[in-house]
Each structure stands twice: as C-alpha cells, then as structure tokens.
Amino acid sequence: MATSTTPLLLHRPRLRSSTSPAHTSRRQVSALATVRGEEIAVDWAPATSSFFDSDSRPIMLFDGACNLCNGGVRFVSQNDRHGRIRFHALQSESGKKLLMRSGRAPDDTSSVVLVEKERSYIKSEAVLKIMQYLDLPFPQLAFFLQFIPIFLRDFAYDNVANNRYAIFGRSESCEI
C-alpha cells in the first residue's frame, strides 16, 4: 500500500458568518482509492475539479433511495427558479467521487452534502447553505436558523436522518 504525505482531513467545515469571506482557503482532502487492485492516495479536490470546469453551480448530493430525500430534491428544484443547484445521487459514480472529495466514505448515505467548488457542507450546514440558494423567503430563514447552535441542529438532523426509511419509506430507484 502506498502512503501519502497529504493527510486525510475529516473535520467538518463550519458555515461562515456573513462578515467573513465564504471561501478563504481550499481544504485539501486525500483518501485512498483502489486502482488496478492497489490502494493509492488521491487528492480528491483536483481529481473532481472537472465537475466545476464548465458549470460552477454547487452540487447537492442526496440519497436516491430515500423518499424523504427525493421529496427534498423536488422541493429544492421547485423553489430554485434560477436553477442555482445541480443534483447527483450519493449512490452514483459522480456522487461517490464527490463524497470522497468532501472527506466522506464513498458509501456514506447518512447525510445530504452540498459541494461547492472550494468546499463542502454536510448535515444541517448543508441544509442551511442550500436554503441560501433558494428563492425568498428561504435565504432569510437560513439566516435566522444559523443562530441555533450546530449541536442542536445536527441532533435534530440526525434524528430525522436515522429514521427516514422507517417514516418515509424507501424507493426502488432514484427519481432524478
């Protein structure tokens, strides 16, 4: 197994306040990938930069087998009249690559993820960031919700996410 001098960063990025720049630095995320049976270290940001070469819109990653998540995608697309957000299922090949870019396991379907060119958001931070891209009144609502401590927002998010199949059911195929 080859080793890398680039560390794997698994910390969660924080939403920045409106007074600080949105993209002060690019997180470098590397992880192991299997190529021809051998594990090698990959810096996933450059490896997935082609997703943003011709289209700079952020990508919302969602669980394609989850009815709640599919409903969330429908809600976002209906409230995003200007088409500011793209969608990919977490289970797709592009979704798996973008998960790795975000410092997540490629089979992790536990959270919605919003991937921008320079950073990624997970759980309640992803939901708030997605709301900022939507039509009125959602950006204003996101502004007020950011003042709820993240541990409370993520606690509520995790409770819904952990029970989403039992409450909302599972879909056999992705609706997108």
Residue type, 53: D
Mean pLDDT (the chain, rounded): 78
Tokens matching residue 4: 């890398």
Enumerate domains of the chain plus CATH numbers.
30-168 (3.40.30)
Give the residue from 36, 47, 176, 140 showing the smallest Cα distance to 102: 47
Predicted confidence at residue 41, as pLDDT, reads: 54
Question: What tens digit of pLDDT does each residue of 134-154 get?
Answer: 999 999 999 999 999 999 999
Q: What is the mean pLDDT of residues 76-92?
A: 93
Q: What is the mean pLDDT of residues 20-26?
A: 35
- 166 vs 47, 65, 110, 169, CA distance in Å? 36, 13, 14, 6
Spatial separation of the C-alpha atoms in residues 86 and 88, rounded to whole Å? 7
